[in-house]
Every structure is written in C-alpha cells, then in structure tokens.
Amino acid sequence: MRERLRSLVLRYGSGPAARVERYLHRIAHPTPRPAADAPGWVITPEALPEPFALAPGRSGSDLMNAAAKRTWYHTFEFEGGYRIEGYDPTGMKVKLFGVPEQLAGKTVLDIGTYDGYFAFDAARRGATDVLATDSWVWLWPDEDSHGNFQLIKEYTGLPVREQIIRVEELSPEALGDAFDVVLFFGVLYHAPDPLGYLRRVRSVTRGYALIETVVDLLDIDRPAAAFYPGAMLNGDPSNNFGPNLAAVHGLCTDAGFSRVETLAMWSPHLVENLAGRPIDLSKPPTSGRAVFRAWA
C-alpha cells in the first residue's frame, strides 16, 4: 500500500488522514467475507517476523532518537523492543505477500521500496544481492523516505543496494541484470499505464514477481479495471486504476509472464470504505487488495 498519508494531510487536512488511520485499523481487524473464484479473504494477520538485528556498535536508543525526527511509512521492529512506528503495519504483511522464508542464493529487486522494509527483509533472509529502487517518493518535495532508507541501512548494516529510477525506465541494462525475485508491492494501482509498467517489471524478472495491488470490480466476470479520475480514490491523485483479478492475470500475460497465481486477498470493501459508502455485508466484496505471483 502506498497511500500518501503525508500528502493528504498537507493538501486536504486531517479528514482524509483520519480515514486512512481507520482503514489501517481495519487491516488488523477485518471482517471475514467469501470471494468467488479466488482464495479466501485473509482475516487473521500473520505473526510478525523476527525483529531486525542492529549492526555491531549501533545503539537502539540512538536509532530511536534519529527516527523520532522523521516521518515514516513502514513500521520496523528491532531487537531490544525498539520500534519505529509508521503509518503502515508492514511486518504483518510479509507472509501474506508471499515472501519466502529463505532467499539464500537469490537476487531480489524491490520496486517502489519507500522506506525499504521489504528490501532489508529480503537481505536478512539470505538474498545474495538486493537492489531497492524508487523515484516518486524518494524525490518527493517535503518527503525524505530516501533518508529513512539510509538510516535503516546504517543501523542494520544489511547489504542492500539502492538506485533512483522510475518504473518506466526499468530494464536489465539500466539495473545491470534481471533478478530472481521481484517485489512490486503497492505500485500497480498508481500506474497511469498498467500494462507498460508490467512489461517493465517482466523485463527485469528472471524467476517470478510478487505483485500486490488494489483490486476493484470483483463482481464483473471478465477482465476490467476501475479508473479513478482526479483524486477519486482516497483523495490521492496518484491512484489511477483498480483492476479485477482477471484483469491482473490478463495484464501479466500480455506483459510476457508465462503464468499467474492469485496468492491472497485482503482488506475487503476497501474502495467503499475509503469513500464512506454503505456496504451490504450479505454480498461478497467488490473491492479490496490482492497479491499475485507472476512467473517469467
């Protein structure tokens, strides 16, 4: 999820921010609802991964002092009970998003890394090479998530490379190679050109890509995507499209992936909740979020 809570506060005041806070609460306390022709909705959050270890000679209290001066999206847990509280309950999503327990011998690319949680998590799971990329939020005025990333790297000592690059510019030549595992979390629904973005993702995927996105129009039985003009979705003009499951599968296939799996669905009724619309809980959700694995 990449909802720009900070920009909502700056541009629209506290109302949208409060809605996002309520939405994040619903992630931790969702209501079970069935979905036809898809995995069941995830109801109980997974146990959090082990806390991050601190690099030798690094102090948790010093990290907390430095972190307190910054605004965070990702939430990080560290040994010794230290915690950086972001807007996103990140740790509970790692298993949900299909990240393997072990990544030994694998190369990993994290596209749209933000504060870097999933990139650092891949490094501690044994990946031989991890590259974290971003552009939009790393170059965003009045935002320093790139600085957050560098602070975590400094205090964990985890070997994660970084590159400022737009999704539209991704290629094996631009990154130096393709990667065994590509993480593409919370980016697709921001894409003005979803097929173009997925073609770029496919070009740098050697094994498979894990893709997480908003999904919508789940009650339509053919490939379709909702378009969110202006700031229609959550007051954020960077939210563009909410595809349904069939559309994600079709987009991935047309982008060059050989097969696609729907791994999980979560946050039912997302679009309706964010819009404050009444929900008929007797019917299956028509929107939410979903995770896919797309094989090269």
Rg for the chain, CA atoms, rounded: 18
HSE of 165, CA atoms in CB hemisphere, 13 A: 22
All domains of the chain in start order, with CATH:
5-295 (3.40.50.150)
Residues in the chain with pLDDT < 50?
1-37
Question: What tokens were used for 18?
Answer: 């409060």
Q: What is the pLDDT of residues 251-282, one digit of tens each?
A: 999 999 999 999 999 999 999 999 999 999 88
- Specify the pLDDT at position 44: 61
Report the C-alpha gap between 193 and 197 in whole angstroms.
Answer: 6
In DSSP notation, 191-241 reads: -SSHHHHHHHHHHTEEEEEEEEEEE--TT-SS--EEE--TTTTTT-TT--E
Report the C-alpha gap between 295 and 181 in whole angstroms.
Answer: 10
- Residue 277's beta-bridge partner residues? none
**Exposed/middle/buried for residue 203 (C-beta within 10 Å: 0-12, 13-18, 19+):** middle
Residue 225 burial (CB count, 10 A): 21
- Specify the pLDDT at position 83: 97
Inter-axis angle of helices 145-156 and 60-67, to 10 degrees? 180
* Percent of residues in the chain assigned helix, strand, coil, to nearest 5: 30, 20, 45
- Specify the pLDDT at position 33: 35
Q: Specify whether the CB–CB gap between 259 and 208 falls below 8 A.
A: no
- Specify the pLDDT at position 31: 33
Residue 164 burial (CB count, 10 A): 11
The whole model's pTM is what? 0.87
Q: Which of 143, 93, 56 is nearest to 263 (CA)?
A: 93
Report the C-alpha gap between 164 and 154 in whole angstroms.
Answer: 18
Residue type at position 156: T
Report the C-alpha gap between 204 and 296 in whole angstroms.
Answer: 9
- Specify the pLDDT at position 7: 39
